[in-house]
Amino acid sequence: MIDRRGFLALGIASGLSSVVAACGWDGGDGVRPLLLDVSRLNDWVGEKILFSSRRLAPQYDIAERSARLPSYFVSPEMPMLQNPAAWRLQVGGLVRQQLSLSIPDLQALPRTTYTVKHHCVEGWSAIATWHGVAVSVVAERAGLLPQAKYVRFDSFDSGYSNGWDLASAMHPQTILAYGMNDSILTPSHGAPLRLYSPTKLGYKMTKYLVSMTFTAERPGGYWEDLGYPWFGGV
Amino acid sequence: MTASPPPFPPSPPPPPPPVKRHHWIVRLTHWLTFVLLVGMIMSGLQIYAAYARFGERGGPYYAPNPFQDHAFSRTIRLGGWLAGGLNWHFTLMWPFVIGGLLYLCYLVASGEWRSLLFRPRDLKGAIAMQKYYLRLRREHPPQGKHNPLQKLAYSFIILLGVLSVLTGFAIYKPTQFSWLTALFGGFQAARYWHFWAVWIFTAFLIVHVILVFVVDPASLRAMITGWYRGRFPSHD
């Protein structure tokens, strides 16, 4: 008898889980906050335990570049500057010296070039070469104040932004990229300047940059505020 | 008239005394793993929906994959959208891994791994057992707590659990664990094996449940209460 009862209980349990799933359940008001709490725990583990500021992402030969690297923006149409010559990257927040940098200014700084694998949260990956200046180099010019713990990157793509932990931003492979695959960055990939790092998922790499702001409080972000993992490290 | 019936029906054999079969840690982690695995698979199918194939962009895709570009029914997906699926997957992974480690620690500490781990010397017994199942052999071969085929199946499924966690790490942090990701043949290959683990788990689950009900229903009670009173007593 107990076997039959056990079987029945099993049937009910699996039936329940199907019903629950049938609504594409994100946890509802009861469970979703718990899932987001665990996501914050995972951010902490990812940032404090798994991430290393010295560990470099593997690099690839340029012959291994992918034929295609998809790109996204959140605006209805591809964001384009009306007057590219007037564009400047504003570096501010908890710094000694605010900076306003043009593309030639950035290109005059020490250049970082690497060929790495891009990991999208959706599960696809693609290899490309990126050219830019390390965020740490620009931060050094601006002079970080000790209170700076995070960085906020803003764009001209309908308010798309990302918040980063300082250690990931200062990683030697985290760059402000003005070039891709030996050419100037194209509008579809975030021209004139985008954030790039092989230590993060694609959605953390702000395109169409306008400013880089060092903060003491943890900044949110476009997808992060909608429920995607905040740390987004790979 | 032919032969008259015997005066007494043959007396049934006395029921075997119940034996303690499963420690509470085994029972707890067994059912916990079952529920969590269902949740991991369902949220995993939600994640898969975002990019339903394996291989670098623009490159060839890994084969075989009968589910390439397949949209799984919403009924068997958990999370509602990609972020929801990720958050379920990355929450359930904690109790899944902790439960698995607890079970493995129990196996080692109790010495029970000896009756579970399939070793080369079990091969002969496994063939005898297979013959019995194929009705090429009348007598059930003597066995310990598990017969050699069970040992093979359970050793394999534990290994599959370990591999699914390791391929999971390889996909979760392909830069921080780049050595592990490389070990599985790269990010897309690790995704591919992680996905295949789902179907091997599913096939195991179906066969496992069928065998419980067809061969030894008493083992279900043993996995709930801990006590076994079925027809396959241990010969230890």
CA separation for the pair A59, A73 (Å, rounded): 26
Judged by CB atoms within 8 Å, which residues 165-204 of A form the interface with B?
Answer: 198-199
On whether both A103 and A15 belong to a single domain, the answer is no
Complex-level ipTM? 0.89
Q: Would you say residue B187 has pLDDT above 80?
A: yes
Could you tell me which chain B residue has the CA closest to the CA of A227?
B83
For the segment B57-100, what is each residue's pLDDT rounded down to a tens digit?
888 899 999 999 999 999 999 999 999 999 999 999 999 999 99
Asked whether residue A46 is domain-assigned, the answer is no
CB contact under 8 A, A198 and B87: no
CB contact under 8 A, A39 and B57: no
Token couple for B22: 């499963």
On whether both A18 and A119 belong to a single domain, the answer is no
Q: Which domain holds residue A9?
A: 2-26
Query: Which residue's structure tokens are 């698995």?
Result: B100
Measured between its terminal Cα atoms, the distance across chain A in Å is 51
The beta strands (E) that lie in A182-233 are given as 183-184, 194-196, 209-215
Residue A92's CB is within 10 A of a number of other CB atoms, namely: 16
Asked whether residue A44 is domain-assigned, the answer is no
Asked whether residue A40 is domain-assigned, the answer is no
For the segment B34-46, what is each residue's pLDDT rounded down to a tens digit?
999 999 999 999 9
On whether both A96 and A211 belong to a single domain, the answer is yes
For the segment A74-122, what is each residue's pLDDT rounded down to a tens digit?
999 999 999 999 999 999 999 999 999 999 999 999 999 999 999 999 9
Q: Exposed (0-12), middle (13-18) or buried (19+): which is A99, by Cβ within 10 Å?
A: middle
On whether both A89 and A168 belong to a single domain, the answer is yes
B156 inside 8 A of chain A by CB: no
* CATH assignment of the domain containing A186: 3.90.420.10
On whether both A15 and A118 belong to a single domain, the answer is no
On whether both A142 and A178 belong to a single domain, the answer is yes
Q: Count of domains in chain A?
A: 2
Q: What is the pLDDT of residue A1?
A: 41
> Which of B51, B57, B89, B219 best probes binding to A when mutated, by most A CB atoms within 10 angstroms?
B57
Asked whether residue A73 is domain-assigned, the answer is no
On whether both A14 and A125 belong to a single domain, the answer is no
Asked whether residue A234 is domain-assigned, the answer is no
Candidates B57, B75, B224; nearest CB to A125: B57
For residues A215 and A149, is the Cβ–Cβ distance under 8 A?
A: yes
CB contact under 8 A, A26 and B59: no
On whether both A181 and A221 belong to a single domain, the answer is yes
On whether both A56 and A152 belong to a single domain, the answer is yes
CB contact under 8 A, A39 and B175: no
For the segment B17-28, what is each residue's pLDDT rounded down to a tens digit?
888 899 999 999
Asked whether residue A137 is domain-assigned, the answer is yes
Asked whether residue A168 is domain-assigned, the answer is yes
Asked whether residue A198 is domain-assigned, the answer is yes
B109 inside 8 A of chain A by CB: no
Residue A108, min C-alpha distance to chain B (Å): 29
Candidates A3, A51, A124; nearest CB to B176: A51
On whether both A58 and A165 belong to a single domain, the answer is yes
Taking CA atoms, A204 is separated from A152, A181, A201, A208, B220, in Å, by 11, 20, 6, 13, 48
On whether both A60 and A22 belong to a single domain, the answer is no
For the segment A27-45, what is each residue's pLDDT rounded down to a tens digit?
888 899 999 999 999 999 9
CB contact under 8 A, A121 and B87: no
